[in-house]
A = this chain, B = another copy of it.
Amino acid sequence: MSLPHAILTALLEKPSSGLELTRRFDRSIGYFWSATHQQIYRELGRLETEGHIRALPAEQPTRGQKKSYEVLPAGREELARWTAAPQDPKPYRDTLLLRLRASAVVGTEGIEADLRRHLALHQRQLTEYQEIEKRDFPPGPADPQDRLQHLVLRAGIDLETFWTQWLTHALTEFAGLPDDRPTE
């Protein structure tokens, strides 16, 4: 149950229409909570019927007409409640690690190229985050809101750093492996 709260957060930061939200879920918020436009419209509908948000000026039948939403007090309260409530980290799932383990049994053919590709992707993401940091968080004292947002960005940077380092290490391991190893 996180998507509605992601949307409430985004709408509190700035009232938006469905498409504007979709765009913001492709950048900033999407860096740690992605969503497609279909999900967003469905959830906007639910949030509205629950009385957590409200369509802004709203006239005319809607198809094709932009419709902006703002958060109502009930929505803000729900978000505050959800934020404060403890939550367990959800079990980790990663296909790349799974494939690596599988490759120990059925052979490493093909996977090295994909490790290289993933490395490039993570390096690109890391660079993007670092540019955002340079642009939005200059050194020196900052107000609490900025410090919290910076903290979140730091997590992204450190995570991508971890992946680039681990993938680099993995590729050096592969360089030292015999040519292929199908355990048959």
Contacts and interface: CB of A to CB of B under 8 A. Distances in A.
Interface of A: 2, 5-6, 8-9, 12-13, 29-34, 76, 79-80, 82-111, 113-114, 117-118, 121-122, 144-145, 147-149, 151-152, 154-155, 158-159, 162, 165-166, 169-170, 173, 176-178, 181-183
Q: List the 9 closest A-B pairs by CB distance, nearest first.
A: A84-B110, A34-B91, A104-B148, A80-B106, A32-B97, A9-B102, A83-B102, A86-B114, A12-B105
Contacts of A80: 106-107, 109, 182
B32 A98 contact: yes
A60 B148 CA distance: 61
B151 A173 contact: yes
Nearest to A106: B80
A145 B155 CA distance: 32
Contact of A106 (B79, B147, B159): B79
Given A2-B98, A86-B117, A155-B166, A93 B177 contact: no
Contacts of A183: 145
